[in-house]
Structure formats: structure tokens, C-alpha cells
Structure 1
Amino acid sequence: MDKEEYKEERFTERCDDKVESIGGDYDLEEEDDSPVEEVRVTISNTDDPSMPCNTFRMWFLGLIFTAIVSFVNQFFYLRQTQISIGYSVVALVSLPMGHFMARVLPTEDFNLLGWKFSLNPGPFSIKEHILIGTMTAVNTSTAYAVDIVILQKLFYHSEKPFIAGLLLVFTTQVTGFALAGALRKFLIRPAHMIWPSTLVTASLFRSLHAGNNAPGDEGRMTRMKYFLLVTLGSFIYYWFPGFIFPTLGVISWICWIDPENVVLSQLTGSNGLGIGTIALDWSAASYYVQPLVTPWFAQVNILIGFILVAWIMVPWAYYTNLWNSKDYPILSPDLFREGGEAYNLTMILTKNVLDEKKYEAYGSVRMDSFFALTYGVGFAGLTATVVHVILYNGKEMLARWRSARLENEDIHSRLMRVYPEVPDWWYISLFVTSITLSLITCIVWDYMPWWAVLLAMVIAIFFVLPVGIVQAVTNQQPGLNIVTEYVIGYMLPGHAIANVTFKTYGYIVNVQALTFTADLKLGHYMKIPPRIMFMAQIISTLISGVINLSTATWLVETRPKVCTKDGYPFTCRNTNTFYSASVIWGAIGPARVFGNVQGAIYSPVQWGFLVGALLPIPFWLLARHFPNVTWLKYVHWPVLLAATSNMPPALPYFYTNGLFIGFVFAFLLRRYRYNWWARYNYLTSAALDTGVAICGLMIFFCIQSWDGEMPAWWGNPSDKNYDHCPLGAANYYGVIS
């Protein structure tokens, strides 16, 4: 067998796809490259189709990390301070494992039912590595539908069979992938649909697979050694804020001046506005801001938006007693009666549906001013995003929409011709199956009517392409959660579970479609055979769905008082906020909360829609009139208004501590120690995440699951007031609900 015959045979074995004929070998000229500069400097314009990709190593490591990441991220999702293992951690940890398997696995060929394969087809390749990362990346965020299952069991006491929840998870996660197939022509193949976030990921993988003796690296610590050392340090340190000395994570030192002063506690306590609170806990400081990863420009916008809302608007509203705010805590995701008592939803429901007579007798729902204002800011952020994109990117978006239909293929599209494309009928079959299962699930287990399923899908499909173009060009993804809640809240008022189910199908299907599309674009850049990418994404998504739901079910059934303050650390801040939203938008309905029905006092927040639409206009006009005033170009109202979109459940001190770390790393070190920053910054973030996650799991499984506790002392008070500021969660009159 000559060299070319051997190469062709090995390619067929390694990638498990036949090479499509494109008229002979493609001759790549030196000047033939992407027309987009960012892509040219990041992505290689060559490809080696013989490189291993569909291998035993890839599937083994990919499935292992899928299981681990799905479990860890769901486990920590229910905790007070969350930890999320992302792309970078998996990329770094799987690399030495892949190289180790390439050294120790047997190289001989095996024959299984006529299929010839090798456990070890050669050196561990970047294509295998990217597929491993992609299998875990689609599961970095836990399945959104799991919250519906928890909600029904703990809050609405109407538990459904496990299979019902599993089908709900499967259909909401996979339907989006089916839509992604329809987006390939417009969002993947065109050169100008660059998907900036995929360039970062591609750069990470290319750096990890570059030679160890790169110019300028002589005598410096290897990236892997640095990663392991920081991971070890993070693991050792987290024993203190995570178990031995929890007060380290919430040092509200200003509050200690006078802990009995209610106003001081509300302003400076960790459960209040957190002014001055120091969090020596990486899981708290990093989760929402991601200070070592988020660009400094974006962090500045977040900082301004945070101060504007959390430290200016909210204190003004609270201490002027807007909406009788002083009867409630200054920051809480909970719902209240008019006098400040906790709102008992069972008093207004009959068979989990709003009973209008009971509601009139019991009284309308109330929330703290922070919660109400963040809804108004969310309304403003939605319209500001639309107007901002039209003003700043409108002409460019229109041109790129046309180019998506008309432009010639770039080098990357031509190189991908060698790999057979996923047939359309695969995506169509997947979509039809998903829709069918969605209808069966929602009708059989009474989640919502059949027409609501179809309407949610129409909303997701209608918005997926325009939102996808925005994300592909600007790296922004306007959220549809408010739109979906509003629509079904008016169409099916009084039905809480139907509301959150509709939101999940209308919102998360759209999000999942674009998440999958981004991964397909990464595969396009890195020349991953599309059919292998398809199978890797589908299989990992199904496995992660089972693990997400199983993990959440296990925790709910085994942890006492889970999702309550007494269930610390499993307080489920996100799920509690999800519950409050289900009450506001579903059980009671937007008309009774934000409309003009039966004393809906929060109707003024709907002005946020108009305010958000108007805010970008004067700054756009000023930027055009004064083109030399640089700072005007950086005023980005969608980012400013989205800064507090995670609050609640996020706490203010998460932001302040994260932004301070971001100032050190994203600004100071990047500007004054660029070589160190370029080499170690992202590794540092990944290593800190990994160390905290491993330590958190060890604390739980080795100590807490056996009912072990750290003895109570000042740094670990028995009353769980770790910040020693007990009135931070009280109302203005010092009453703790």
C-alpha cells in the first residue's frame, strides 16, 4: 500500500465519513484566506482531513466529562454561591488525559461486526480535543426545565412522574438543536457571521496544541504546571470560606460598627446592598461577573449600570417608601402581603389555578422595590437592545443579511466541502420528533394546552434568526424570557406551571438553538466533520439531561429543608426567583401586577419599555455629531441595563468583589503586565474554578452528606448569620420575615 492509499484508509477510519469528491485536491494559495481580519489572525486557513477525530479517546473522555460537568454544575446550581465548570476547565484537564491515552492504549486494529477501528490511531489531536470540549460545553448551563420539576415538587406540591420531567428536559433542550440545522446557511457558512466567542475558544485550543518550546517561553513555567499549582492552592484555600471559616466569604466590616442599626445593616450587610462587603471566596466573586474572562470595557459598563440601579435608584425608592417598600427587606426575591408577611400562595389557588375570590379576600401580592425596579430595568433593556442594534448596527446588519444569502464561500467553507454535510432530513426528523414529544408531554401531564406549545415554538422560531444575526455579529443575545412571560401571562392568567413551561419552550429553545449554532460555527472554523459534531452534541445533550434531573431530584429528596434559608448551603436562589416569577407572571398574572386590575401598584415599571427605547437615541446622535469624543462610542445602554439582570438571585456583593478583581486582572495586569496576562490569565480563572469545585464536592460528600459539621465559632456562627449582620435581611422597622 502506498502512502496516499494508507492516508485515505486511515482518514476513513478516523473520521468515520467518506470524503466527498470536490474535483481533486484543493490547491490553497497563500493569499486565499478569510475576508474578516479577526478570523484571519485566529483561525488557520489549512486543514488536515487525516487528523483523528471520531475516536475511542474522544468518546470516552467526552462522555466522562459530560457526566462530570452535568453533575457538578447541577449540584452547585442549588447552592447559595454557585460554581460552574466551563469550557476552559474541561479543555485544560482533558488535554493531559488525551495525551496519556495516546501513549498507553494499544495501537492494533480491531474488527467489530465488520467495522475496523483502533483504540489509538496516533497522537491526540486538536479535533478530538474540540469535540470533547463541545460535548461538555452544551451542558455548561444546567437544563432550564429542571427548575419546573423542582417548582412543582417543593412549591406547588404537585409532583409529576420522573419520565414527565425527563421528557420536558429532553424536548426543551433538543428542539433548539433541530432549529440550529436550519440556521447553517445564514449563520455558519457566511464569512461575516464571525461569532466572536468562538474565536476565543478556537484560540484557546490552538494555544494548548502549540509547541511547548514557543519563542519567548524558554525558562518559564509551563501552562500545565501553573494550572495544577493554582488548582491545588485554590483547593486548599476553599476549605476556609467553604467550611472552616465561612465569614471569610462575607466580611461586612462596615456593618460591624453597629450591627443593631437597621439602615446600616441594609446598606452594608451581605444580604442587603453589600456596600463595603468583602468576599474572600472565589465562588461568590466570580460566578456572575467572571472577572478574569469578561473584557474590561464590558465590566465598566456593568459597574456603571450596577451603581445606577443598586446604589442610587434602589435606596431612593426604598427610603422614600415607594410602594410601601419599608415594609419589606431592601433586597429579596420573596413575595409578601401588604403588611410585610410572607405571601402564602396556597391561600389563593384551587388545584394550582388562581381562584379570584380567594385572591380578592387574601389581598394582592407585594414585592420589594429592588425586585420591582429590576423588572422595569429588564423591560428597558429589551427595547434598548432593539433600538441600539438598529441605530448602531442597522445598516451593517442589513448588508450582512444580504451577504448571508448572496456572498461567495470563504476558504473555511471551501475546506469544509471535503466532509459530508448533515442531511436536512436528520434535522427535520429531530424537529418533528421533538414537537411530537413536546405535545404529548404537555397534554398528558397537563403542563399547558397544545396550542400554547405551538405558540411557544412560533415565538422561538420567529426570533431565532434575527437574534442569531445579532449574536453572530455583535456577540449579544437579547433575551426572550420577558416576552414569553408577558404573552402567556395575559393569555393564560392564573396558571403558574403553564407560564413557566411556556417560557421554557419559547425562551430556552431559542437560547439552545443559538448555543448549538455557536458550537457548529466552532466546528466549521476547526474543520470538524459535521456528522460527528451532530452525534456528539445530541448524545451529550441527552446524557446531561438525565444527569441534571437525577441530581436535582436526589438533592431535593435527601437534603432537609432544601431551597429554604434553613437548608443552607442549598438555598436555591435561582429556583426561588423562578418561583417568584411563576407567581407574578403565572399564578396571578401581569395584568394584576403590572396592569390596571385590582390595584396593580407596580404598573409604572412598564414605562421601562419606553425609557429603554429612548435612551440610546441621544447618545447615538451625539456620537455622530461629535465623532472625536471617544467615550461616547463606548456608552452601551443594553449592557448598562442588563448589569443587574441577575439580581435577584445574585447579591450585590458578588458584583462589587468580582469587578474589583476584574480591575486588577482585566485592566492593571493586562495593561502593565501583558506578557503574564496573555500567558496565565485564562489559566488562572480555570484553575480557581477547578480547585473550588473539587473542594466543594469533597466537603459535601466526605463531611456534610454524613451529617458532619464544623464546630460553631465566631467565623462559623450557629445561627448561619455568617456576616454578623443579622438585620441586613430585615425590613426598615427591624422585622425579619
Structure 2
Amino acid sequence: MSEKLEYDKHDIESPAVELEEDENSPIPEVAAIVSNSDDPSLPVMTFRFWVMGVFFACLLSFFNQFFWFRSNPMTLSTLVIQLLAYPIGKFMARVLPSGPLNPGPFNIKEHVLISLTANCAGGTAYAVDITVIQKVFYKQDFGFLANLLLIVTTQMLGYGMAGVLRRYLVYPSAMIWPANLVQVALFNTLHRDDELEPGQWSRYKFFLVATLAMFVYQWIPGFLFPVLASISWICWIAPKNKVVAQLTGANGLGIGALTLDWNTVIAYLGSPLIVPWWAQVNIAIGFFLIAWVMVPIAYYTNLWDAKQFPILTSKLFKDDGTRYSPLAVMTDNVYDNIKAEAYGRLRISTFFVLTYGIGFAGLSSMITHTWLYHRHKIAAQWRASRSDSEDIHHKLMQAYPEVPEWWYAAIFLVMTALAVVTCEVWDYKLPWWGVLLAILLSVIFVLPVGIIQAVTNQQPGLNIITEYVIGYILPGRPIANVTFKTLGYISMAQCLLFVGDLKLGHYMKIPPRAMFWAQLMGTLIAGIMNLGTATWLLSSQEGVCEDNETFGCPSANVFYSASVIWGVIGPDRMFGPKSMYNAINYFFLIGLVLPIPFYYIKKLWPNSFLEFIHIPVLLAATGMMPPAQAYNYTNWLAVGFIFQYFMRRYHPEWHMRFTYVLAAALDSGTAFMVLVSFFIFGIRDVAMPDWWGTRTDLCVNDATSYYAPIK
């Protein structure tokens, strides 16, 4: 049956709100999805909320930090928590005695607040990367307190800015935040009566069965038969051929490589079941052009001595292809010119250089694309946001007391002071003015970036800008570089995460003060759990992030390489006029110009396939490479084609009803299997007996092409 959602449009009886008959949002897509009614009497911060909010925040932050360390990482999305919280909330409402602990049926507002608390805890704290590379690669440790303060300040500082931005990015109807509309639709779907035809499965029955099936299945590629995780069948035919290994190996360009391991499919790009098909098409085009056209041409024409190094790696090398040790060119963790002259220059793989160039192009293309396609819409909606913010949803929210501005100001000032104290007391090599400059960059960019995200669902990142700026101002200081980057980039990102959640609460009529405390609680829990999990793994797992098959920390290794490139060596030495890699600076210009011809070509041929071409998404396609491998992309795209194209087109009813639920089930089943296997076998160093299906050397040069130079 059709999954078309219909919502009641009845006015509420509240002395604080006066509504016109049939009043609704002036934005059509919002009016179609978001209900224009509210019941302020619904309890929100109930006992059920506190129990599930704390539990799921702890669970999600532990899961995602644990999986972040794994050689095949994965991320559990808040979608899983949305689905799990609903039946648990219903169960608690049924079994708890009526009264303060159980004030009536489990309602949609409790559900939203639980999910938003978990959402604030869902991402791994970026500052954990600093702690990891300090301990593992730079051989220094400032202690748990310093690490916790850095994590808390970088995660919460942006929240202070959100208070000022509410009037520009939350209250106005013009600021849509399109991603929230999917969430709203899902919440409303879960909380309406599910009228099932005879014999039709409910979503929860489907979710439970699919989760159990994936939990059982994942033991095969995840433990019993791990060679199924990377089937480089072409390479197996000619295992001693270096070119074949480079082109078809799982650690090379992965042409023809398959995986039957769901963890490998979702390791870096998330679930392909929930990414729109148009975006997947752009990712596919970008991946094929960059990884399978540009990279082989650059490598086999020996651009920048490409053949001296592996074809696909983020590792650091010397001119002769041996590993580069940043500690050999540093004194007291600061670049030493005398040591560097004697040791030799830093070299990186041609692919790694190109990924930076593509990143430059992607950043500048976002500016041009936004100007060409969205300038009128943004300008119109910005004008509307200043003159006409009193839409139905803003009026309904007047029934609830707003969070005082001084609460946000206090967070901003306290976190700024803590950041300065942390960097001054401990030797982060970042002076107080560096902390303030990073925060200033975040303050300058957060509103224009927030407007772009609220309208277009795209968020230009500040990581490259912040690395560039501090790399020129304070070259030779890797920890200062990554600390500055985290303060500048993550403060803005966290602010917009907070603002985006506030908009979801605005749509769902969650009391603002309840939102404020729930979000802060989730963020604080996440910081403690992230650091605790990282500290445990770093102390309990031998060779973690360096020489550990299970916990190889691919993201931390890329973060470390970036700290050396931008921090130890610096952008001037690495990409400046005298550098052999200077040419990649032209990618800024390429990205700035590239959207222009496509814009005018689309005008000449409207309603053609060119309408789906989105240059910033296309250029961002390989943004996760490295650490992602090419076969992560190809298998991700194959699964995405099945569900987002074939199933959506030929089985739309099934797709509408079950695809998101299946995505959550597959992720959940895989995550539970990985944890159970670790705590039963991994923590005791018990491995599957050696046999053909557990070998990693079936394609010898496949491994060689990544871990050692090919002469």
C-alpha cells in the first residue's frame, strides 16, 4: 500500500498562541511533512527519557569510538537508536507503575529528545585524534585531565555560538534544514497507527529478523572465513604480477575486487541504502575519473616519482622510498632545520598529493556552485528570515520558555577560557592568541556556512583553511597545527550540529530548555566515553594504530600524516613555490571555474542527465581516500544501485516501507557481532585456526603494493 503520510492540521488550544485557520508553513516541503499542531501538555524530560537518553548516549559513543580504532571502521547512526528507542519506550510505559516515573503513554517528544541526545553522542570527538597521535606517534602524553579538557572545550565551544544563531538559522521558516525533514517523517511514521494488511510484516518484526540474520551471517566473513572480506579474484589469477596487484588488489585500485562483508561496505561511506541515487551517481563519476583514470595515468607516467612509492597509501616516505620519521627532524616536538637538512625531505604518494588537490578544488567549487545555483534562493530566504520569521512553527514554540542568551554566552566564555588555559598549561605549542584566532575563524565562517547548509544541505569544511593558516603562521609545530584545526573547524561543525538539532526540535515542538540540557548531556557523556574507550584500547592493545591487524586506526594514521604535512613540514615547504608539489595549488582555480561551464550547459540542455551533475559532490567523492580503499567504493556503489535505483524504481512500496529499517538492521547486526566476537575471542587473543580462508597472502603483491615501496 502507498506510504503517503498525512498529518492532522488542527489548531491547538493554548492561551499563548493565536492561530489563523489552516495556517501552515510558507515552505511547501515543510508544510507537507511537518505537522502544524502541537500539544504542550505532553511530558518530555521523563524518567524514561533520562534512562534511555543516558543509556543510548553511552552505548552509541562507546560503539562508534571502538569501531573508529578498527582497521575496518564503521559508524552506528542515530537511525538505529530511533528504531530501538521506540519499542523500549513502549515497553517501559507498559510495565512501569503509573505516576511520576510513568506519566502516560510513550510519546513522540520523548522519542525525539532521546534520539537527539544520542545524536550529540554519536560522532567520535575529533580531539581524540590528537590524543591518539600524541601517544602513538609523537610519544607524549599530557594525561587524562588535559585530554578531557581539550575534548570538552572543542566539542562544546561551538554550542555557545548557537545561541546567537537561533534567530537567523532556527526561527525563520526560510531556513529549512532539509535533512531534518527525513527525520520528521520517520518520527511521525513510527508514532502513527501502523495499519497492516493480513500477513504483512511490521517494521519492527522486519528489523528484528534482519538484525538477527545479519548477526549470524557476519560471523562468516568477520571471523570464520575472513578472505571473503576482500575477494581480489583477478589478482589471485596472477598473484606475482605487480601491475595486476596494483590495479586489481584490494589494497590497490580494487578493479573487480568484491566483498561479502557488510562492515567493509559501510566502513567509510556509511550505509548505501540511505544515500539518494543522484548523490551516488556523482560519487561514482568522481570516483571513476579520479581513482581509475587520473591516478593510473599519474602513476604510470611516474608523476612526482610515483613509482618510487605504493600506488595507494597515506604513509610518509623519504626520497629513496623508505619510511619518513618526523621525530628525526624535530627537537622538543618542533621542526629543526639542521636535523631536517641532514635527514632529507618528506615525500608522499602521488595519489595522496592528488587527493589534497581534489580537496582544494572541492572547497573552491562549493563557493562557485553555491553562487551560481543558490544565490537568489539564499538571498531571498535571508531577507525573509529577517522580515518574516513568525511562521506557524515559530508561533507554536512561543508556548515554551526560551533558553536565556546568557546560558549560551556563559558556555562560550567558559569554554574559550578553558581552551586557552589547556593550551597554556600543557605544552600544546599553541599560544593563547592562536586559540583566539582559531575561534575567530569559526565565528566568522559559521553564519554563512550555516545559511548554505540550512538551504542546500551542504557544509563546506574549514579543515583545509585552518591547516593552511596555522601552518604558515606557526610552521614546524604538529600538535599546535591539529589543535588549531580542531578548535577552528570542529567548533563551527559542532555549532551547526547543535543548530540543526534545534531546528529539528523546532519542527517537533520540543521545549527549548529541554533541548539545551539534553544536547549538553549527550555531548559531555560522549566526550568522557570517547576518551575512556580510546585510553582503554591504547593501553590494552599491543601495537594499536601501528602494528595491529584488528586496530589499525586508518583515520588516525591519515590524521597523523596530515599533522606532519601541514604541521611539521608546513604548507610553504610542502606546497610552496619551491616545492615539487606546488602545481596542486592550481586545483583551487580549477575548482573555482569548473562549475561554470556545467551551469551554462545545463541551461542549453535542460531536463537532461546533466541536471544530476553536482560538481562539489563529484569532487568530494574520493574525500575518504585514504584511508578508504577503492573496493570500499565499488562495493558500496553496487549495493546502492540495488536499493536506491532498482528497488526504488521497481519495488517502490517495499522501498518506502523497509529500506531505512533494513539499513539500521544490517548495521546493528554487524556491530553486535563485532563486539561479541571481540569480547569472547579478541580480548583473549583467540583467533580462528589457520586455513585457506583466513590467509591474507593469497595475493602477495596485493599486500606489498601497500605496505612497502615497489621499486
Are the equivalent residues in 1 in contact too, given 2:73–2:268 (CA < 8 A)? no
* Residues 627, 36 of structure 1: alpha-carbon distance in 2 compared, 3 angstrom cutoff: farther
Structure 1 counterpart of 2:323, from 323, 337, 342: 342
Number of the residue aligned with 1:296: 277
1:183 maps to 2:176? no
2:207 and 2:112 map into 1 onto residues whose CA distance is: 19
Alpha-carbon offset, residue 517 of structure 1: 0.7
Number of the residue aligned with 1:380: 361
* Residues 377, 687 of structure 1: alpha-carbon distance in 2 compared, 3 angstrom cutoff: same
User: In structure 1, the residue corresponding to 2:194 is in which secondary structure?
Assistant: coil
| Greater mean deviation of Cα atoms: 668-677 or 358-367 | 358-367
Number of the residue aligned with 2:267: 287
1:39 maps to 2:13? no
1:432 maps to 2:423? no
Number of the residue aligned with 1:88: 79
Are the equivalent residues in 2 in contact too, given 1:164–1:441 (CA < 8 A)? yes
Number of the residue aligned with 2:8: none
Are the equivalent residues in 2 in contact too, given 1:223–1:683 (CA < 8 A)? yes
Residues 379-403 of structure 1, C-alpha deviation per residue, up to 9 Å, x if partnerless?
Answer: 0000000011011111211121221
Residues 604-631 of structure 1, C-alpha deviation per residue, up to 9 Å, x if partnerless?
Answer: 111100000010111112223x153523
> How many residue pairs end up in the alignment?
698
2:185 and 2:226 map into 1 onto residues whose CA distance is: 37
Residues 229-253 of structure 1, C-alpha deviation per residue, up to 9 Å, x if partnerless?
Answer: 0000110011111111111110000
Are the equivalent residues in 1 in contact too, given 2:246–2:702 (CA < 8 A)? yes
1:392 and 1:675 map into 2 onto residues whose CA distance is: 33
Number of the residue aligned with 1:107: 98
1:395 and 1:206 map into 2 onto residues whose CA distance is: 32
Residues 183-206 of structure 1, C-alpha deviation per residue, up to 9 Å, x if partnerless?
Answer: 111111111111011111111111
TM-score (norm 1): 0.93
Task: Give 1:540-555 correspondences, 5 Å limit.
Answer: 540-555=522-537
1:508 and 1:692 map into 2 onto residues whose CA distance is: 29
Number of the residue aligned with 1:199: 181
1:311 maps to 2:292? yes
Number of the residue aligned with 1:728: 702
Number of the residue aligned with 2:58: 67
CA RMSD of aligned residues (A): 1.6
Number of the residue aligned with 1:224: 204
Residues 596-654 of structure 1, C-alpha deviation per residue, up to 9 Å, x if partnerless?
Answer: 24xx2111111100000010111112223x15352333221100100001100111111
1:101 and 1:202 map into 2 onto residues whose CA distance is: 23
Alpha-carbon offset, residue 405 of structure 1: 1.2
User: In structure 2, the residue corresponding to 1:420 is in which secondary structure?
Assistant: coil
Number of the residue aligned with 2:5: none
Are the equivalent residues in 2 in contact too, given 1:380–1:610 (CA < 8 A)? yes
1:195 and 1:698 map into 2 onto residues whose CA distance is: 38
Task: Give 1:652-671 correspondences, 5 Å limit.
Answer: 652-671=630-649
| Greater mean deviation of Cα atoms: 726-735 or 538-547 | 726-735
Structure 1 counterpart of 2:252, from 250, 255, 272: 272
* Residues 359, 531 of structure 1: alpha-carbon distance in 2 compared, 3 angstrom cutoff: same
1:589 and 1:26 map into 2 onto residues whose CA distance is: 57
Are the equivalent residues in 1 in contact too, given 2:64–2:76 (CA < 8 A)? yes
Alpha-carbon offset, residue 22 of structure 1: 11
Number of the residue aligned with 2:571: 590
TM-score (norm 2): 0.96
Structure 2 counterpart of 1:518, from 500, 503, 509: 500
User: In structure 1, the residue corresponding to 2:176 is in which secondary structure?
Assistant: coil
Number of the residue aligned with 2:600: 621
Number of the residue aligned with 1:112: none
Residues 139-159 of structure 1, C-alpha deviation per residue, up to 9 Å, x if partnerless?
Answer: 221000001001100100011
Residues 689-717 of structure 1, C-alpha deviation per residue, up to 9 Å, x if partnerless?
Answer: 00000000000011110111111111102
1:338 and 1:69 map into 2 onto residues whose CA distance is: 43
Paired amino acid for 1:128? E
Structure 1 gap segments, 5+ residues each: 1-20, 109-117
Paired amino acid for 1:263? V
- Runs of 4+ in structure 1 deviating by more than 3 angstroms, as ranges, are 25-30, 729-737
Are the equivalent residues in 2 in contact too, given 1:262–1:732 (CA < 8 A)? no
Number of the residue aligned with 2:692: 714
Structure 2 counterpart of 1:128, from 98, 110, 113: 110
User: In structure 2, the residue corresponding to 1:684 is in which secondary structure?
Assistant: helix
Task: Give 1:159-174 correspondences, 5 Å limit.
Answer: 159-174=141-156
2:180 and 2:566 map into 1 onto residues whose CA distance is: 35
* Residues 473, 735 of structure 1: alpha-carbon distance in 2 compared, 3 angstrom cutoff: closer
Q: Percent identity?
A: 52
1:332 and 1:161 map into 2 onto residues whose CA distance is: 31
Are the equivalent residues in 2 in contact too, given 1:329–1:729 (CA < 8 A)? no
Paired amino acid for 2:47? F
Are the equivalent residues in 2 in contact too, given 1:327–1:733 (CA < 8 A)? no
Are the equivalent residues in 1 in contact too, given 2:16–2:398 (CA < 8 A)? no
* Residues 100, 732 of structure 1: alpha-carbon distance in 2 compared, 3 angstrom cutoff: closer
* Residues 196, 161 of structure 1: alpha-carbon distance in 2 compared, 3 angstrom cutoff: same
* Residues 551, 408 of structure 1: alpha-carbon distance in 2 compared, 3 angstrom cutoff: closer
Residues 89-140 of structure 1, C-alpha deviation per residue, up to 9 Å, x if partnerless?
Answer: 00111111111110111213xxxxxxxxx00000000100111100111122
Structure 2 counterpart of 1:333, from 281, 290, 314: 314
Structure 1 counterpart of 2:560, from 579, 590, 593: 579
1:30 and 1:195 map into 2 onto residues whose CA distance is: 26
Paired amino acid for 2:640? G
2:424 and 2:532 map into 1 onto residues whose CA distance is: 23
Number of the residue aligned with 1:15: none
2:691 and 2:495 map into 1 onto residues whose CA distance is: 49
Alpha-carbon offset, residue 52 of structure 1: 1.8
Number of the residue aligned with 1:260: 240
Task: Give 1:127-166 correspondences, 5 Å limit.
Answer: 127-166=109-148
Paired amino acid for 2:511? P
Structure 2 counterpart of 1:690, from 658, 668, 682: 668
Structure 2 counterpart of 1:605, from 547, 564, 584: 584
2:303 and 2:544 map into 1 onto residues whose CA distance is: 33
Alpha-carbon offset, residue 40 of structure 1: 1.1
* Residues 97, 732 of structure 1: alpha-carbon distance in 2 compared, 3 angstrom cutoff: closer
Structure 1 counterpart of 2:439, from 434, 452, 457: 457
Paired amino acid for 1:286? I
Residues 39-69 of structure 1, C-alpha deviation per residue, up to 9 Å, x if partnerless?
Answer: 1111100001111211010011010000010
Alpha-carbon offset, residue 547 of structure 1: 0.5
Paired amino acid for 1:247? V
1:733 and 1:325 map into 2 onto residues whose CA distance is: 15
Task: Give 1:238-249 correspondences, 5 Å limit.
Answer: 238-249=218-229
Structure 1 counterpart of 2:303, from 304, 322, 336: 322
Residues 644-700 of structure 1, C-alpha deviation per residue, up to 9 Å, x if partnerless?
Answer: 011001111111001000000000000000000000000000000000000000000
| Greater mean deviation of Cα atoms: 437-446 or 397-406 | 397-406
1:450 and 1:200 map into 2 onto residues whose CA distance is: 42
* Residues 434, 673 of structure 1: alpha-carbon distance in 2 compared, 3 angstrom cutoff: same
Paired amino acid for 1:58? F
Alpha-carbon offset, residue 27 of structure 1: 4.8
Residues 566-612 of structure 1, C-alpha deviation per residue, up to 9 Å, x if partnerless?
Answer: 30110000000000000000011011110024xx2111111100000
User: In structure 1, the residue corresponding to 2:347 is in which secondary structure?
Assistant: coil
Are the equivalent residues in 2 in contact too, given 1:67–1:547 (CA < 8 A)? yes
Number of the residue aligned with 1:650: 628
Are the equivalent residues in 2 in contact too, given 1:266–1:730 (CA < 8 A)? no
Alpha-carbon offset, residue 357 of structure 1: 1.1
User: In structure 2, the residue corresponding to 1:183 is in which secondary structure?
Assistant: helix
Alpha-carbon offset, residue 288 of structure 1: 3.2
